[in-house]
A and B are shown apart, each in its own frame.
Chain A
Amino acid sequence: MKEIFYILFLCMGFGQVIYSQTDNITTLENVYLKSVRIKDSAYTTNVTILSDSVLRQNQASLTNLLNYNSTVYFKENGLGMVSSPSFRGTTASQTAVLWNGININSQTTGQTDFNTINIRGYNKIEVKPGGSSVADGSGAIGGTINLVNQLEYDAGFNNELFFNYGEFNTHGLDYRTSYSSKKLSLMLGVARNGSDNNYPYPETERINSNGHYQNTNISFAASSKLDSKNTLKVFANVYKGRRNFSVPTPNALKTKYTDFNTRSLIEWERVLGKFVSNLKVATTTEEYRYFGNIASDFYTTATVNSLIAKYGLDYAFSNNMLFSLGANYTRNDGQGSDIQAETRNLAAAIVSFKHKISKSVLYEISLRQEANAAYGSPLLYSAGMSVQLTSFYQLKLNTSKNYRIPTYNDLYWQGLGNPNLKPEVSYQGEISNNFKIKNASLSVTAYYNSVKNLLHWIPGSDGIFRPENTNQVQIYGLESILNLERKIDSHLFSLSATYAYTISENSKTQKQLIYVPFHKLTASVGYGFKNFSAYYQYLNNGEVFTTTDNATEHILNSYMVANLGAEYALGKQKKYKLGVQVLNLWDEAYESVQNRPMPGRNFNFYINLIF
């Protein structure tokens, strides 16, 4: 049974691991394209993996990591404040964030605030563009971000300490300890980050007032091979964050916000001849408190507790054919100051078939039937094909139907929510062209996405916002990822770049959605020599409209930001590292949200010890 995974894995091989993991050089040679495990997702779309060493060299927020290393666009209300993504031109709640495969988007807002995810809690992050509701459920329309705790076996006892300190009292402390034998693997991590965040606004007299934040993340993962056929895994995560929201104008009333989220997951995998069965049971809790006046104890809040169960059964007809059945169940219990207490139950059944016709051709078809009368029980699908046309060129085709159910706020906001809202539906198609030669790879993907029943809060005739289902959006664009690596003697050079061109239009008005740039470009250049390495990160976000009429006077200008970092590893085994970073090297004055300036040039250093 194992070999079918192995063979499929190899045969899909393009763009798997482009580079071996050389630890002494920069971030991005470790960004490689990879097919995901067969039980989770499609072979006919691309996935980018951000590995542990990439995570280390970026700032601790998920916003920062993805901003510089992926095509995902972010609008951030000033550094560390509320941050929402637009993946492939979609809205903030159309990106699914998964934690070890479990959807953790807020049930109240439908989105994840990417500044409330501390990446130090994970050692691998997968970025999967495009719809994947069949595998990942509601909200996986623009793309999916999976936060992974990956465990290894037979590595003994390891400790790792990471400490960084920078201007504005920005600090991070991350300790990770792990033990693994041949059959057991354990990992515990504690990460704490904070900043006074009182940076001066470039080219003005003002400073970022009331921007202080701090958060703590505790993560635990364990895996045990009970016997040759059974594996049991346990994951747990606790996040507690507190942010003051920086004031838009100096004399405005100061506010603050706290988050408390917990997640736990048990996974049991069992091999029975040609069958592999996988059961996941997870519980999550989310709670926020918003204090409209920092000096007062009054706050508004909402909490949602969820239970998620996923069962999958794979059957291998032969080495070239795999049939899978799955069942999902989700239960949400939510309540809050402005939402009435409600429980909802969602269930779905999944069927999928993957067939490798020849050495170079594979196709896959998956269906997902939702069983929830309240949302019309849509049938979702994903179908695709992958062809290795030449040794260096691979073509992938994929089409899918995806959806997003209305959030607690949309449905149950007191007096304004609408329990009769329909789910958003998205029809997509994409073509990926993957090129690979010895030291380089390039992928170019063209896609089309039609979103119907867009959930949107719009003012009615009384001027009050209410959720509606009326808009349609047409999105199409191009996505490209380039990786190069060259070694000359003991000098290692690498280049990694992403580029996205995005048209995302309201079908009725033919206007580009606000805060969706036409262009986004990232690039990273690395150099390594013996114990020394350096890297240069570059981000260029194109201009965005901030008004729905696309009025030119309200355009938020494009900006280019660059970071420069250098690292020196001590000792033969390079276990002790010292690094310095210059963030916003060129001291660019920029905003990612109107009138919310980001910091100018600032300095940061770190120490990473493995013992």
Chain B
Amino acid sequence: MRNPFYKIGSFLLLLSFFAVSCTSDDRETPKEETPLSGDYAQGIFILNEGGFGYSNASVSFLDAAGQIYNSIYSNVNSTNLGDTAQSMGFEGDNAYIVVNNSSTIEVVNRNSFQHIATVSNMIVNPRYIVFKGNKGYISNWGDPNNVNDDYLAVLNLETNLVEAKISVVEGPEKLLVYNGKIYVAHKGGYGYGNTISVIDMASQSLLASIPVADVPNGMVIKNGFLYVISSGKPSYTQDETLAKLFRINLENNNVENVLTFPQGKHPEHLELDNEALFYVMDNSVYTISLSDFQLSQNPFFEPTSDGVELLYGFKVNQGNIYIADAKDYVSNGEVFIYNLAGDLQEKHTVQIIPNSFYFNN
């Protein structure tokens, strides 16, 4: 019996062979070349945290000539960085990448990006790292649902092993080292913190706890003063609280000045340049001078007009403002570089969820 069936059948088979032959091996993937100099000594690292659970964190590098190189960690080391890169720190010749959901610290050479070691012992949900002497101090949430297991891990930089834990209250986040002490902002893990812990490095013990408003999100130190921006609890917690900016005298840990934001406003990302602080609110950049210390009603500039969709990372460094745009969290992000007048200078496409900038020079 001859009939159209065979024609259609063979068409279908052809179609399926087409489907088979059209596999990913034929696809041209963009090549990620390494910088001509072969090293990363002069430029900016941009950390792309990647999607939570997807193990697609990566590092981009912007060289001095303004050329961007993506996925340098995996290009150099032929392995993935891990799951949700939270932050990075430099000490000596090394860079330490804190990979939150992997519960690891990846140690690389800061100039070649060659992998040196993976720190995984006594690391659970690490957030930030600071250094002093031959030690690194890493804030850890532990089990984020457990409010009693949070700590600073003390990393021996020679062995790359964690050698001690300093217990702290829930949700240790950003860290600052000043005058032999570590200042720990307790932003909160899955809960909401409202203190700054002061840790004595010599004795590895808690010296003081400075109460601030809910969710201390950013800290800077200038001229013996600690500035803390507390975002307040957002409305979706169904217990919304006010955001505040604190000026704390580090001589006596006294709050010398506190500015209160209007209800419903939740600023983030505190940065410093000379005599001015910068912060971010509703995707806009605000500034406040240290001398008169008054909140400004109007934004300094609005990066959304340049195409920023979700301002996720923010850094002020040597006369430039760096903004990381995470878009919808499931596409390649962008970085926008502004001068201190708020004029856009450059922008570059990076990888998934860029969150921070680190300057190698």
Contact = CB atoms under 8 A, between A and B. Distances in A.
Contacts of B22: 519, 542, 558
Interface stretch (B198-206, B242-250, B288-296, B324-332): B324-332
Contacts of B83: 248-249, 252
B23 interface: yes
A393 interface: yes
A251 B331 contact: no
A436 B327 CA distance: 51
A596 to B, nearest CB: 8
B310 A463 contact: yes
Q: Which of A392, A436, A463, A552 has the most CB of B within 10 A?
A: A463
Contacts of B257: none
A555 interface: yes
A357 interface: no
A461 B82 contact: no
Nearest to A433: B8
A459 B25 CA distance: 34
A594 B238 contact: no
B124 to A, nearest CB: 6
A293 B5 contact: no
Interface stretch (B36-44, B98-106, B131-139, B208-216): B98-106
A593 to B, nearest CB: 8
B20 interface: yes
A480 interface: yes
Contacts of B54: 248, 546, 593-595
B332 A416 contact: no
A543 interface: yes
Interface string A494-520: 000101010000000000001000010
B143 A292 contact: yes
A266 interface: no
Given A438-B1, A497-B16, A543 B27 contact: yes
Contact of A248 (B101, B234, B283, B310): B101
Contact of B53 (A248, A440, A480, A499): A248
B12 interface: yes
A523 B15 CA distance: 13
Interface in A7-66: none
A546 B28 CA distance: 17
Contact of A253 (B29, B30, B70, B103): B103
A547 B102 contact: no
A551 B332 contact: yes
A57 to B, nearest CB: 22
Interface of A: 248-253, 292-293, 295-296, 298, 392-393, 414-416, 435-438, 440, 442, 444, 458-459, 461-464, 480, 482, 497, 499, 501, 514, 519, 521, 523, 540, 542-543, 546-549, 551-555, 557-558, 560, 593-595
B195 interface: no
A106 B120 CA distance: 37
Nearest to B235: A415
A107 to B, nearest CB: 22
Given A248-B55, A251-B123, A464-B234, A560 B20 contact: yes
Given A393-B4, A558-B23, A464 B236 contact: yes
Contacts of A248: 53-55, 83, 101-102
B55 A594 contact: yes
A207 B104 CA distance: 18
Interface in B67-104: 70-71, 80, 82-83, 99, 101-104
Given A298-B145, A555-B27, 11 more contacts: A251-B103, A298-B143, A392-B5, A414-B236, A437-B1, A444-B12, A459-B329, A519-B19, A521-B19, A543-B24, A558-B22
Nearest to B103: A251
Contact of B237 (A415, A437, A438, A546): A415
Given A292-B145, A543-B27, A444 B331 contact: no
A594 B29 contact: no
Contacts of B124: 253
B330 A548 contact: yes
Contacts of A463: 310, 312, 326
A252 B120 CA distance: 9
25 contacts: A248-B55, A249-B55, A249-B82, A249-B103, A251-B120, A252-B83, A253-B103, A292-B144, A293-B146, A295-B143, A435-B5, A438-B1, A459-B328, A463-B312, A480-B12, A480-B15, A521-B16, A542-B19, A546-B54, A547-B331, A551-B332, A552-B28, A554-B332, A560-B20, A595-B55
B143 A553 contact: no
Contacts of A547: 330-332, 352
Interface string B327-340: 11111100000000
Given A435-B5, A437-B5, A293 B56 contact: no
B262 interface: no
A540 B19 contact: yes
Contacts of B328: 458-459, 548
B23 A392 contact: no
A73 to B, nearest CB: 13
Contact of A595 (B80, B144, B146): B80
A482 B9 CA distance: 8
Q: Which of A436, A519, A547, A557 has the most CB of B within 10 A?
A: A547
B335 to A, nearest CB: 15
Contacts of A594: 54-56
Contact of B104 (A251, A393, A458, A464): A251
Contacts of B12: 442, 444, 480, 482, 497, 499
A438 B4 CA distance: 13
A552 B103 contact: no
B3 A444 contact: no
Nearest to A514: B330
A395 to B, nearest CB: 13
B267 to A, nearest CB: 11
B352 A554 contact: yes
Given A249-B102, A293-B146, A442 B234 contact: no
B125 interface: yes
Q: Please list the 9 inter-chain residue pairs (A to B) with the smallest Cβ-Cβ separation, ordered nearest first.
A: A415-B236, A549-B331, A557-B24, A595-B55, A249-B102, A519-B19, A293-B143, A251-B120, A251-B103
Interface in B146-179: 146
B186 interface: no
Nearest to A391: B3
A237 to B, nearest CB: 31
Nearest to B239: A415
Contact of A442 (B1, B8, B24): B8
Contacts of A464: 234, 236
A549 B55 contact: no
Nearest to B80: A595
A248 B102 CA distance: 8
B332 A549 contact: yes
Nearest to B124: A253
B85 to A, nearest CB: 11
B266 interface: yes
B1 to A, nearest CB: 6
A435 B8 contact: yes
Contacts of A444: 8, 12
Given A415-B236, A551-B331, A554-B56, A251 B102 contact: yes
